[in-house]
């Protein structure tokens, strides 16, 4: 789950709203730092989650996957079939069309797949981040894949450390590129001004489509798996 920040010159205090599509919108004064915003959002976590999970207001979220043969798992915007094999296998195997695990590993499949997805995410994301960093003329300190980033798909610290929620590797590549550019652009412009979005648009012209994809499919990314 992520939150979007909308800055206003007129606003004096921070406000949080949960939209009908489960989007969390933070309305903040321009002078409030991203770090302080995150602290406030975390302090309101219980309230936000109660609103997001209000079954009377929102549609039911997708259920968790079962690690059985025939199940489908999402990767880079596509669905791939899972096969549970009688053969002894180490961890997760992926041949480009099918995921395979052994029967003996079914009970710990969630942990095995999470590790596989995190490792694969770094392989895909880091080269893209390096390429866009060169295009933007910025330098980042480190690029990491995080196991749990409450309310965020990605983040960028003032020291230039960029982090990405491992779940974004399930999204199509154009969405991943948008999230990468979004964080790298913050190394040039800390806010979400029109100048910031112009920088993003130059690198990812279809960024609005990426934002819409996340709006429509974010709940799917959040589910294991």
pLDDT, residue 207, reads: 95
149-169: buried (b, 16+ CB within 10 Å) or exposed (e) per residue? bebbbbbbbeebebbbbbbbb
- Please state which architecture CATH assigns to domain 109-222: 2-Layer Sandwich (3.30)
pTM, full prediction? 0.75
For residue 37 the two structure tokens come to 């915003």
The residue with tokens 């180490």 is 90
- For 87, counting Cβ atoms within 10 Å of its Cβ (0-12 exposed, 13-18 middle, 19+ buried), the class is exposed
pLDDT, residue 56, reads: 52
C-alpha 32/C-alpha 37 separation (Å) is 7
pLDDT, residue 168, reads: 95
Asked if 2 contacts 182 with a C-beta cutoff of 8 angstroms, the reply is no
Cis peptide before 225 (omega within 30 of 0): yes
pLDDT, residue 4, reads: 84
pLDDT, residue 135, reads: 96
The domains of the chain are located at 3-52, 109-222
pLDDT, residue 192, reads: 82
182-193: buried (b, 16+ CB within 10 Å) or exposed (e) per residue? bbbbbbeeeebe
Averaged pLDDT in 10-residue chunks for the chain of 225 residues: 78 83 83 90 89 62 80 95 92 95 93 95 97 96 83 81 94 97 92 90 96 86 81
**C-beta neighbour count of 105 within 10 angstroms:** 19
pLDDT, residue 58, reads: 47
């Amino acid at each position: 789950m992520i939150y979007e920040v909308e800055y206003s010159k007129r606003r004096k205090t921070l406000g949080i709203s949960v939209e009908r599509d489960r989007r969390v919108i933070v309305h903040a004064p321009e002078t409030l730092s991203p770090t302080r915003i995150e602290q406030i959002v975390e302090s309101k976590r219980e309230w936000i989650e109660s609103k997001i999970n209000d079954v009377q207001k929102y549609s039911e979220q997708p259920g968790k996957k079962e690690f059985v043969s025939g199940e489908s798992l999402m990767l880079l915007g596509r669905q791939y079939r899972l096969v549970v094999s009688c053969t002894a296998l180490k961890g997760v195997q992926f041949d480009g069309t099918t995921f395979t695990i052994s029967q003996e590993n079914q009970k710990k499949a969630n942990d095995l797949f999470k590790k596989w997805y995190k490792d694969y995410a770094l392989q895909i994301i880091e080269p893209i981040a390096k390429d866009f960093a060169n295009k933007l003329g910025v330098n980042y300190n480190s690029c990491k894949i995080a196991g749990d980033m409450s309310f965020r798909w990605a983040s960028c610290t003032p020291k230039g450390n960029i982090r990405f929620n491992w779940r974004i590797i399930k999204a199509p590549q154009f969405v991943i590129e948008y999230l990468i550019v979004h964080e790298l652009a913050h190394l040039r412009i800390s806010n979400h001004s029109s100048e910031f979005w112009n920088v993003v648009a130059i690198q990812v012209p279809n960024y609005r489509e990426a934002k819409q994809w996340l709006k429509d499919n974010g709940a799917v990314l959040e589910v294991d798996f």
